[in-house]
Structure 1
Amino acid sequence: MKKTVFTICLLFMVLLSSWGYEQRNLLQNAASEALIRNSLVMKQAWVPFPKYADRADWDQLFGKEKEAIIEAGSKFLDYHWQVIRATDYLEYERSGSRNSMQDTYNQNIKVFSHLLVAELAEGKGRFIDDLINGVMFFCEMTSWAESAHLFGAQKSKRAMPDYREDILELRQGDVSQMLAWTYYFLKKPFDKIDPMITSRLRYELQKRELTPFLKRNDFWWMARNYKQDGLLNNWTPWCNANALLCFMLLEDNPDVLAKAVYLSMQSVDQYLNYVKGDGACEEGPTYWGHAVGKLYEYLTALSLITGDKVNIFHSPLIKKMGEYITASYIGDEWVVNFADASAKAGELNTMLIYRYGVSVNSPTMRGMAVMRAKAHPLTRPWTWLDLYQELGNLTYRPLLDSDVASYQPENFVWYPETQFCYMRNGHMFLAAKGGHNNESHNHNDVGSFILAIDNLPVMIDVGVGTYTRKTFSRERYSIWTMQSNYHNLPIINGQPEVFGASYKAGKVSVDKKQCLFTADIAQAYPAGAAIDAWLRSYQLKNNSLIVTDDFTLKEKKAANQLNFMTWGEVDTSKKGRIRIRVNGVSAVLNYDDATFTPAIEKIDLTDPRLSKVWGDAVYRITLTAKEQTLKGTYRCTISRENH
């Protein structure tokens, strides 16, 4: 790949060392294409939801939520569908903003999905005309893909939809699945008005989703030409789940359906081969629902269409992938947010966690879901775009409500291949990482850590701001949140870490008994940093964390610095002691005043994606070495201050 070709998807395709790739082929080993062909449940007999006319069954499914669902849809009666202007697409190229196109598009999608579910709940035809208008509106769109993804995937490399090419990507697939369910549920009432409506819709779904999935093999997420040094992520299970469900809802030719199912199995197998054997999601908890959650959606659909002949929920890997989310939950709705994840757990789908836990027989996942449902009741508003998932969630809701499983997080969790380590000791929680600097949704953060006290993050990973064109381009690491300078890491000889799979942790080790994590992070820095070794270790005590750096340098170039990110009130008035107060939690960073000079940088947060988590500002604490030496040891202690 030429370095000049930087698109929205480049970060996802760039070559890297294949850490953990294992040719498991769990799905293909479970069934051949011939077995798939002989096992197909045809003519949508697999659908686990009522047919449109089965009013009693819909009433039972929606239960006490029925009237609220109808009311929510009623607000959009006589909706005027919003045109996405050409300049909305072009704005991505002009300013890098995705929102001009996506905000309008997402509003239309939201309205359509609410109208659809309201009609399913009421069943009186009151929403049909608006749904017909919506169907025809979507059919008249040149593409269902988002501008940012068009820019990366189209042969034109432009953000404006190209009428000559149909692109398969995340949002396009979501809309395809939503409209495929619309076709399935409402074909009869639509046909009573005019058969042209469903005829046109079926044509567009064939053209935009089914045919490209069968005929093309060049979309990177398909992994049909995959090489073992390539990167895969949530796109693969997500896009395949959408495609599989569209074929299941629309295709009545068993030969074609079998071919599509098997193509999807081959693709998802590559993702499962790519995922490390420890089951960790390197994209972080926010993306767990898009990656492992969509894998769950795919696997449940695959089981339905094959009459349960292909069911791999018994696989230890599938269970580990699910239980990662329970380990990454700090508490009180905070999560470990390495990579492009948010530190808040708001995006976690409690019902999805529960259903996954039931499928893999995980009391831990069930217990976490029960805990969250009690502490944070499952309330409106609903998001109905993924109808298959949300209707499935409603089906499982009574089971969750009656479940008595409890959640008790483990005190020590180690992911040896992904190199994530989570520890709990007394009031303290620590997450530390090794890894490399070309992980999916990567930040340059080899060796960084997150420290929470009483379930509240104190030393933080800031996360990621609103996505723009720059986020997935050659300019990604010009964004401060992506740089090691703004993670809990040293600047060595004036040098931060750099991007690339070869920039990685070495000699990574853990000691469960000592609550100790150690990694040599020297290789994460460029040659100009002149490092022989930089051994960073974290030892978690009952009420304190000891951060130690043992180092050897080849030469002295610039003063070393230790950086710590926080979001609390910072007080440096006492030498050797920095006090941090965050929402009622008080911590003290102790350092050697003879060795370091402290400085505080306030970073105002103007990006709402960051400010909604951390407030108006975060702070970087920098300890600058007063004397540069070729060899030495730095030690800092972060302690919980008793109230």
Structure 2
Amino acid sequence: MNSLGRTLEREDWLTIVSRMVPADLRLYYPDGDQGAFWRRVRESGEHREEVREIRAEAERLRQEKNPELTFSLFTIYANRGTRLEYERVYFERRRRLNTFVLLALLDPDDQDAEHELLDMIWSVCGEYTWCLPAHLGEDGHDRAIDLFAAETGFTLGEIALLLQGRLPKLLQTRIEAEVNRRLFWPFLRSAPYEWETATHNWAAVCAGSVGAAALLLLRDPEALSAILQRVQASLECYLQGFGADGACPEGPGYWNYGFGYFVYFADLLARRTLGEADLFALDKVRRIAEFQQKCYLGGDRVANFSDALPHCRVQIGLSYELARRYKSVQLPPPGLRADYRDDHCSRWAPAFRNLIWKNGTAGGEQDRDWPAASYDLPDAQWLVSRHRSTAGSFGFAAKGGHNGEPHNHNDLGHFILIAAGDTFAADLGSGEYTADYFGTGRYRYDCNGSQGHSVPIINGRYQAEGERHAAAVLEAATGETRDALRLDLTGAYDEAGLERFIRSFVWNKTELPVLELTDEFRFVSPPETLAERVVTPLPPAMLGNGEVLLAAGGGGKRALRIVYDGQRLEPDVQPHTFRNHFGQDETWYSLDFIVKQPGLIERVRLRFEFV
């Protein structure tokens, strides 16, 4: 996998490694002058907000003690199946490490910051494992390499290089010893890890981090070549998880994560090989790079299908780097930049690159919001539309796909509607990660099962999980005034009486846009029950006369009127709660339009009008 697009053998890698330039500060700064770069960061206005955020976080952390990863915390997952207790402390420790390293780079004379970072490096090196308890499995901590162990090795390797000459020799030596013990030795001496053949973010994050750490720390050409050969194979698997449309089925959050670590490794590899091994030359990588601009519905609202959060701010460094490499990549609106403190996992690699890759001259003038656009992503079977008019900004997204996708939700035919920053028809996104969430109980969670999505309930049945439960696209079209998606969803349900189910969306992009949804059913025998569900965070108001109103509240806010056939449909509203990704309860409402007397053939129409 190089600029020629072919897979490299060990001998090829040995040849490339023999020609590599040294791993030094020129990997990060054009002239290798680290001091001059950080003076510009301190003194120019370009990074004013980022610097303010780092200093504010450092001030907070100075008032806090470094929290311990105790035995009691470590064993909570095994005893209860919950993860947040341990992970909050683990990520707070990474926050301390990152913040005081950045502060030491910003203010090289700050002795307090240097003292804090030296203690944090020592503390992280002394952790029982760099893995999360939920990821250890049965391998034992000596062999285990998960996302966060790999990230930690990459982080420490990069810090060791950036602070070379400032770190005491004992710490420099310990970093190398720990990364060797926890990453390189088990990776080289073990059979392939399960994630090496994954077609989702694990392959990119784990392999990319191990490869990046090796590029920064390893001096043995044989060992480095062996690692790069396996990393290459793993990243090829990762790329296989994308179709030709470049869409990330796991959603924009996991695009930021997985593809981000692909890019961080690819950049270091291209720099050390002077472009001889250039993963950016692959056309598929370019198409994946374009996904970010295609998944936003407006502002920070995204098409958050799968385990994705509804609001997603951009890693500005990654965005600038991709826009620098590819003319087809749009820079995001400046206001969507993620705050330094936004990443609850406190990852070093994106935080550092948000500073070194940000370039105020890239791309010229930028709008305050994404431009109007519609995208048909045929491999993912997504339709995403941003519409802007004198009445404001609006967004619509719908999906087909299959119910065996990475971080799968049973959501074939599901859709999202937003206006002026408010969500009217919602995707709940990701719930709190627990043992059961990824176990046999996964689809009992509303955010994962089809009961928490805007899809029909047929004879009391929800959609079934598994890749064979798939949608077929009958029509997908985008245009200046109208977008359309027509899906055959018969295969989404294990319902013997269902002979055919076709769902059609027509998105009319008028000044106040209108979504027309039509469901056509054919049954072997009339079903006992049939209900059309709409999922919303807003309490529906029953207006009677075949109308329901969803109002965002506040002066000047938009509302959504849902028009239905009151003679044939009976609306029903129920409140629900689900536990979100951060362990907080959120309320949502199921708005069901129940067919009063379902027959062998049913056609149900709902009209969604912004008012």
In structure 2, the partner of 1:259 is: 226
Q: How does 1:522-561 map to 2 (within 5 A)?
A: 522-526=490-494, 528-541=495-508, 542=510, 543-561=513-531
Equivalent of 2:560, from 567, 587, 596?
587
In structure 2, the partner of 1:300 is: 267
Displacement after TM superposition at 1:106 (Å):
1.3
In structure 2, the partner of 1:311 is: 278
**Are positions 1:365 and 2:330 aligned together?**
yes
Partner Cα distance (1:337, 1:139) in 2: 36
In structure 1, the partner of 2:429 is: 463
In structure 1, the partner of 2:131 is: 145
Equivalent of 1:421, from 359, 362, 383?
383
**Are positions 1:42 and 2:28 aligned together?**
no
More deviation in 79-88 or 29-38? 29-38
In structure 1, the partner of 2:237 is: 270
In structure 2, the partner of 1:638 is: 608
**Secondary structure at the residue paired with 2:279?**
coil
Displacement after TM superposition at 1:80 (Å):
4.1
Cα offsets for 1:517-546 (capped at 9, x unmatched): 1111110101x3421110010011232111
Displacement after TM superposition at 1:264 (Å):
1.0
Displacement after TM superposition at 1:167 (Å):
1.3
Amino acid at match of 1:397: K
Amino acid at match of 2:374: F
Displacement after TM superposition at 1:260 (Å):
1.7
Displacement after TM superposition at 1:45 (Å):
6.2
Judged with a 3 Å threshold, the aligned counterparts in structure 2 of structure 1 residues 563 and 67 are, in CA distance, closer, same or farther, namely closer
Contact persistence 1:437–1:504 (CA under 8 A): yes
Displacement after TM superposition at 1:215 (Å):
2.3
Normalising by structure 2, what TM-score? 0.89
Judged with a 3 Å threshold, the aligned counterparts in structure 2 of structure 1 residues 399 and 309 are, in CA distance, closer, same or farther, namely farther
**Are positions 1:411 and 2:411 aligned together?**
no
Partner Cα distance (2:304, 2:133) in 1: 27
In structure 1, the partner of 2:570 is: 597
Q: How does 1:374-523 map to 2 (within 5 A)?
A: 375-376=335-336, 381=341, 386-400=347-361, 403-406=364-367, 409=371, 411-424=373-386, 428-454=394-420, 456-513=422-479, 515-523=483-491
Contact persistence 2:430–2:581 (CA under 8 A): no
Cα offsets for 1:114-156 (capped at 9, x unmatched): 1222222222344343333323322322211111111x3x33x
Cα offsets for 1:157-210 (capped at 9, x unmatched): xxxxx45x231111112221222223223453443xxx4333333211100011
Displacement after TM superposition at 1:76 (Å):
4.3
Partner Cα distance (1:388, 1:102) in 2: 19
In structure 2, the partner of 1:28 is: 7
Judged with a 3 Å threshold, the aligned counterparts in structure 2 of structure 1 residues 393 and 484 are, in CA distance, closer, same or farther, namely same
Judged with a 3 Å threshold, the aligned counterparts in structure 2 of structure 1 residues 594 and 529 are, in CA distance, closer, same or farther, namely farther
Displacement after TM superposition at 1:457 (Å):
2.4
Equivalent of 2:317, from 351, 354, 371?
351
Displacement after TM superposition at 1:610 (Å):
8.4
In structure 2, the partner of 1:158 is: none
**Are positions 1:178 and 2:161 aligned together?**
no
Contact persistence 2:41–2:106 (CA under 8 A): no
Displacement after TM superposition at 1:53 (Å):
9.4
Amino acid at match of 1:595: R
Displacement after TM superposition at 1:611 (Å):
6.4
**Are positions 1:108 and 2:93 aligned together?**
yes
In structure 2, the partner of 1:213 is: 187
Displacement after TM superposition at 1:455 (Å):
5.1
Judged with a 3 Å threshold, the aligned counterparts in structure 2 of structure 1 residues 100 and 381 are, in CA distance, closer, same or farther, namely closer
Displacement after TM superposition at 1:335 (Å):
0.9
Displacement after TM superposition at 1:626 (Å):
0.8
Partner Cα distance (1:25, 1:634) in 2: 53
In structure 1, the partner of 2:175 is: 201
Normalising by structure 1, what TM-score? 0.84
Amino acid at match of 1:91: I
Amino acid at match of 1:28: T
Judged with a 3 Å threshold, the aligned counterparts in structure 2 of structure 1 residues 571 and 267 are, in CA distance, closer, same or farther, namely same
Between the aligned residues of both structures, percent identity stands at 21
Amino acid at match of 1:516: A
Judged with a 3 Å threshold, the aligned counterparts in structure 2 of structure 1 residues 27 and 207 are, in CA distance, closer, same or farther, namely farther
**Secondary structure at the residue paired with 1:313?**
helix
Partner Cα distance (1:139, 1:341) in 2: 32
Q: Which has the higher contact order (CA 8 A, sep 6+)?
A: 1
Displacement after TM superposition at 1:29 (Å):
6.6
Judged with a 3 Å threshold, the aligned counterparts in structure 2 of structure 1 residues 85 and 455 are, in CA distance, closer, same or farther, namely closer
Equivalent of 1:239, from 188, 200, 206?
206
Partner Cα distance (1:546, 1:132) in 2: 60
Partner Cα distance (1:122, 1:409) in 2: 39
Contact persistence 1:178–1:385 (CA under 8 A): no
Judged with a 3 Å threshold, the aligned counterparts in structure 2 of structure 1 residues 446 and 29 are, in CA distance, closer, same or farther, namely farther
Displacement after TM superposition at 1:35 (Å):
4.3
Judged with a 3 Å threshold, the aligned counterparts in structure 2 of structure 1 residues 276 and 443 are, in CA distance, closer, same or farther, namely same
**Secondary structure at the residue paired with 2:407?**
coil
Q: How does 1:15-164 map to 2 (within 5 A)?
A: 26=5, 28=7, 32-44=12-24, 46-49=26-29, 55-64=35-44, 65=48, 69=54, 72-73=57-58, 76=61, 80-124=65-109, 125-150=111-136, 152=137, 154-155=138-139, 162=140
Displacement after TM superposition at 1:67 (Å):
8.0
More deviation in 236-245 or 389-398? 389-398
Judged with a 3 Å threshold, the aligned counterparts in structure 2 of structure 1 residues 618 and 516 are, in CA distance, closer, same or farther, namely same
**Secondary structure at the residue paired with 1:495?**
coil
**Secondary structure at the residue paired with 1:423?**
strand
Displacement after TM superposition at 1:497 (Å):
0.3
Partner Cα distance (2:361, 2:264) in 1: 18
**Secondary structure at the residue paired with 1:310?**
coil
Contact persistence 1:437–1:443 (CA under 8 A): yes
